[in-house]
Structure 1
Amino acid sequence: MIVDDSAVARQAIACAITNAPGLAVGGTASDPILALRRMRDAWPDVIILDIAMPRMDGLSFLRHLMAERPTPVIICSSVAEQGSKTALDALTAGAFTVIAKPRANLRDFLAGAADDIIAAIRAAAVANLRPLSRPTLPPPPPKLSADALIGPRTAGEMHATTERIIALGTSTGGTQALEAVLTRLPATVAGIVVVQHMPARFTAMFAERLDAVSAIHVREARNHDRVLPGQALIAPGGRHLMVKRAGAQYYAEVVDGPLVNRHRPSVDVLFRSVARFAGRNALGVIMTGMGDDGARGLLEMRDAGATTIAQDAASSVVFGMPGEAIRRGAAGNVLPLDDIPAALVRFSCGSRR
């Protein structure tokens, strides 16, 4: 279902979908009220949604859908520019992804962005509270591993500290998952480092929002920040986050570098650094997300003696990253999202279960 008040946008998106094998346009609507009326007869698998529309705005419609009947929604809007508060609000409300369209030359843009829109539709179609399989997409190009930034742990490295640390990695659906976890943690929880796949400029706003609704302090990581109990440091969009240690104290290292697993920041980079410098004093958690970033790093953490957790399929928006970690034997525990906060608290209090 395409919901957009622009006839040009509806026509161009519909044309791209019609030309894609295995996809069909179930309907179009110029506003959410009309869309709801038409969707009663045949509910769509994926909705492409504008934001600025008459009678009901797209964000209100998105929140209504997620509360009443969760459905994969791709935001395609000129007011949801990359890094904007509107785009972050859409992701937080449950949008699968956001595609920013220009205010001018719309038809040319949509023709050029057709492949991205089709790829987003195919990925969204297997998301949101369904038995999920990894999206059927063209074979990915060769990708760099964490070796590009940090070497693997060696047997001689010591982890002589009792200070505990928690590393979280997530991607698609992670904005909601992280909020569900971080807002349920007490200020006594061990220091937390987070990689959420996000573009630059998103992460500072995202951290500010989580900080406002959490008992712990949440902010974007800066180079040489101490990793402290009761605090979560989120990797800045467009930069890698690693953990290093000076004596018994952990600190953040924020660096530029190549894409790892086609991501910057990369979960694998963070997890490898935690395996190397924290070892058995660490807890690694991999949550909802497409692809396999973090699966290898979580296995390295487990091999180093860390406690490891993967989010289960039923509660993951996309079961790619946690599913791959489980397949590789990296997950010591597989938990639904609602059980992860308590596991973090238990680990912080000294339990390894």
Structure 2
Amino acid sequence: MDEHRPVRVLIIDDSVVIRQLLKDIFARDGEIEVVGTASDPIEGYDKIVQLKPDVLTLDVEMPRMDGITFLQKLMRSHPMPVVMISTLTREGSEVTLKALELGAVDFIAKPTQSVFTGMAVLSHEITSKVKAAARARVRPPAAHVTPVPFARSAVTRGTEASRLIAIGASTGGPEAIRQVLQGLPAEVPPIVIVQHMPPVFTRSFAERLDKLCTVRVKEAEDGDTLQPGHAYVAPGDYHLQVTTNGSQFRARVVQTEPVNRHRPSVDALFDSVLQASGPATVAVLLTGMGADGARGLKKLRDVGAHTIAQDEETCVVFGMPREAIQLGGAEFVLPLPQIAHKVVELLTA
């Protein structure tokens, strides 16, 4: 799209209140133009064809056709950037993760408190995500990835226990993380992950990954001993840090101040990993808007850790990796399908 004109948005939501709140938020931004609204997907599809918006905001639960069914049809016939509007519930999180798998760029969780107050608090997040979605690459769902065989003969005894894999991502991250984890065998060192997500969603995300990947995946809990072959996802609204207890790594889950406007923050994770495993780390920064993780990746590279940034072509939003590359923090810049293989290669070198 032309970056000198406003982002053209179509709102599809059965709630008159939500439609009006979104219109008001976008109107105050100045860089977003609401070209139309619709109360259900049937009406919405006609307006997509007629108005040709840059971005669609789509409610998950609607009459006549639910958001997931509509998204599947839309991605087959008219692929475009979609930001889902979800409820902050267990059921809402599972449906939203399915939407991201089907090709939605991002999501916004409706507040549990007063919708008027909550949406006002979320206004910066809402406008940022819509503008990022307008620049995003819309991709078809990726196939299941076969794990890279782990050359155990090339691994010295104790390698899995003394090394650490750290991964950070934001917009587009759920599917990127899935592809990386699915490409890793069960014998890898402990994996710690920050994906920018609210509470409830991170647990559903971890459980979904656990069903799809060879490595075991769980939402991190304070005091967890980090085990080889296991991945630990930072819980929403908490930072995940790594500490050492003798020869063991432990998870520390804390609710200190946001870093780079985020909690969990990738930089908060990478800074703790810098102290815990330093040069024995393989750190990966995946797709996402903003700069969270870029500074931390550079620090890790400076002490001799292996660092990987996802390349522009395969990122949904080339923000965080680009910042890391510009800082000189990326030892390798790779397309997403090659990252798991490179991680295994670095661990067995």
Q: What is the TM-score of this pair, normalised by structure 1?
A: 0.79
2:63 pairs with 1:64: no
Contact 1:70 1:128 in 2 (8 A): no
Contact 1:17 1:24 in 2 (8 A): yes
Question: What is aligned with 2:294?
Answer: 295
| C-alpha separation in 1, matches of 2:30 and 2:117 | 22
| C-alpha separation in 2, matches of 1:31 and 1:70 | 18
Which amino acid counterpart does residue 237 of structure 2 have in structure 1?
G
Compared with structure 1, are the counterparts of its residues 106 and 304 closer, same or farther at alpha carbon in structure 2 (3 Å cutoff)?
A: closer
| C-alpha separation in 1, matches of 2:233 and 2:122 | 30
Contact 1:83 1:200 in 2 (8 A): no
| Structure with greater helix share of residues | 2
Deviation of 1:70 after TM superposition, in Å, equals: 3.8
| C-alpha separation in 1, matches of 2:299 and 2:55 | 37
Compared with structure 1, are the counterparts of its residues 2 and 31 closer, same or farther at alpha carbon in structure 2 (3 Å cutoff)?
A: same
2:35 pairs with 1:35: no
Question: What is aligned with 2:322?
Answer: 323
Structure 1 residues 298-332: Cα deviation after superposition (integer angstroms, max 9, x where no partner): 11110111100001112112211111111100000
2:88 pairs with 1:82: yes
| C-alpha separation in 2, matches of 1:91 and 1:289 | 16
Contact 1:312 1:336 in 2 (8 A): yes
Point out the more displaced range, 270-279 or 214-223. Answer: 270-279
Point out the more displaced range, 35-44 or 218-227. Answer: 35-44
Equivalenced residues, count: 316
| C-alpha separation in 1, matches of 2:239 and 2:34 | 39
Contact 1:189 1:344 in 2 (8 A): no
Compared with structure 1, are the counterparts of its residues 244 and 119 closer, same or farther at alpha carbon in structure 2 (3 Å cutoff)?
A: closer
Contact 1:186 1:216 in 2 (8 A): yes
Aligned with 1:2 (options 2, 5, 11):
11
Compared with structure 1, are the counterparts of its residues 69 and 314 closer, same or farther at alpha carbon in structure 2 (3 Å cutoff)?
A: farther
Point out the more displaced range, 80-89 or 299-308. Answer: 80-89
Q: Secondary structure at the match of 1:210?
A: helix
Contact 2:110 2:119 in 1 (8 A): no
Structure 1 residues 48-105: Cα deviation after superposition (integer angstroms, max 9, x where no partner): 21222232111222233345544222233xxx322433134324422412141679x8
Structure 1 gap segments, 5+ residues each: 131-160
| C-alpha separation in 1, matches of 2:209 and 2:222 | 20
Which amino acid counterpart does residue 126 of structure 1 have in structure 2?
R
1:34-183 alignment, distance < 5 Å = 34-76=43-85, 80-94=86-100, 95=104, 96-100=106-110, 117-129=126-138, 162=159, 163-183=162-182
Compared with structure 1, are the counterparts of its residues 40 and 249 closer, same or farther at alpha carbon in structure 2 (3 Å cutoff)?
A: same
Structure 1 residues 110-163: Cα deviation after superposition (integer angstroms, max 9, x where no partner): 688666544443232222349xxxxxxxxxxxxxxxxxxxxxxxxxxxxxx842
Compared with structure 1, are the counterparts of its residues 129 and 331 closer, same or farther at alpha carbon in structure 2 (3 Å cutoff)?
A: farther
Compared with structure 1, are the counterparts of its residues 11 and 224 closer, same or farther at alpha carbon in structure 2 (3 Å cutoff)?
A: closer
Question: What is aligned with 1:23?
Answer: 32
Identity of aligned residues (%): 45
Question: What is aligned with 1:140?
Answer: none
Deviation of 1:16 after TM superposition, in Å, equals: 4.9
Question: What is aligned with 2:7?
Answer: none
Q: What is the TM-score of this pair, normalised by structure 2?
A: 0.80
Contact 1:10 1:28 in 2 (8 A): yes
Structure 2 gap segments, 5+ residues each: 1-9, 140-157
Deviation of 1:237 after TM superposition, in Å, equals: 1.6
Deviation of 1:187 after TM superposition, in Å, equals: 0.9
Compared with structure 1, are the counterparts of its residues 165 and 101 closer, same or farther at alpha carbon in structure 2 (3 Å cutoff)?
A: closer
